[in-house]
Amino acid sequence: MSKAESVAIVGWGHTKFGKLEEQGLEGLLVAAANEALADAGVEAHEIDAIYVATFNAGMSEQDFISSLALQVNEAFRFTPSTRVENACGSGSAAVFQAANLIEAGRARRVLAIGVEKMTHLSSADVGRCLSRASYVPEEGDEGLTFPGIFGVVANKYFQKYGDQSDALAQIAAKNHKNGAVNPLAHMQKDFGYAFCRAESEKNPLVAGPLKRTDCSMISDGAAAIVLCDAETAQSHDKAIALRARAQANDFLPMSRRDVTAFEGPARAWRDGLDMAGVELTDLSLVETHDCFTIAELIQYEAMGLAEAGRGADALADGTVYKDGALPVNPSGGLKAKGHPVGATGVSMHVMAARQLMNDAADMQVKDAKLAGIFNMGGAAVANYLTILERVK
């Protein structure tokens, strides 16, 4: 690995996502971490530090969870463990902090865990918790939950570029079809375009032009990865290099941004591709943050697949489908896989790494060599871009 590829993922774990009534926050965290350690062939005493991602914001009474990671194994006692939080980008924040520590020479192996327990609350209560990732003095005062916030984004985009309901339904149908073959996904059902496009009793309008099939699901789940330096990676059976990573934070208030442009995501994509020394067309697949279908549509433009207002072209020409030039969300994305907030960014890294190891079973994209991961917190506020490449 080159200096730009000085950190590698050498193992991973991933619980099923969904309504997991028998598993609490601690159990999910422990299960994902143990699976990652076993997959990497690493003993707990070989881990130098731990980062745990969770958003929480009131969803769990156990707010101080960094040392819950020590429940994984007694050998973790006295190992530095830190909670990280950056809204829905918390999982990638944990991965980035782990990589930073390794690059600084302060650690050889680091465990990054993402976890969230959400389904024990009502939808209204979850909505209130998630709304704390908005700018409360403005969006909060207007009583906007995140479906409402992205309903505003969709309305503004429609007003500017025309009705995009067909494109949103195509994204929902695509991701549900992909998720139908993901055994870890919350929703493993191919709903089809017609169901996603039509407003119905089972698919009602939720906010603005967004229907139920346009919104990611409230989920429980956890994911974990073991990262190490390039030299240490040589002793492992597999290694997926973090060829590049970039973060770009934008203003929190929506009033200070053009919410139809996703300038923060666009900056993260430009910086990440430049750092990796590759073009978008060099990527084999992308796992992107489709918290709402309108988000994925605008992200096509932010990553450079289409001009502003022309995101639907990437659907019309087949580019983003599993057999297209750049498959987007072959795992089913947040739309079908689920969105346990703190776990999402780590999950994306697991799903992309599995693709590069040719270990994605029915989700597999043919000849996957490079993978892009885009994870964001809030409405395009905390933006993380990772490019992964198999080196072993």
**236, 289, 339, 349: the active-site residue:** 339
Instruction: Please provide residue 86's backbone torsions phi and psi, each rounded to the nearest 5 degrees.
Output: -150, 60
* Cα 128 to chain centroid, rounded: 21
Element (H, E) at 177: helix 165-179
Strand partners, 385: 246, 374
State CA 22 to chain mean position distance.
24
Question: Which two tokens mark 216?
Answer: 């990611």
CB 94 within 8 A of CB 345: yes
Active-site pick, 14, 88, 176, 196: 88
| DSSP secondary structure, 288-351, as one string | ---SBHHHHHHHHHHHTSS-TT-TTHHHHTSTTSTTSSS-B-TT-HHHHH---HHHHHHHHHHH
Written as one string, the DSSP assignment of 201-237 is SSS-EEETTEEGGGBPPP-BEEEEEEEEEHHHHTTSS
Which residue, among 345, 331, 382, has the nearest Cα to 52 in the 3D structure?
Answer: 345
In sign, the C-alpha dihedral spanning 345, 152, 160, 167 is positive
Q: Are 141 and 236 in contact (CB under 8 A)?
A: no
Task: Specify the DSSP element, H or E, that contains 26.
Answer: helix 25-40
Phi, psi at residue 38, to the nearest 5°?
A: -65, -40
| Residue (of 2, 3, 5, 57) closest to 387 by Cα position | 5
339 is catalytic: yes
**Residues designated catalytic:** 88, 339
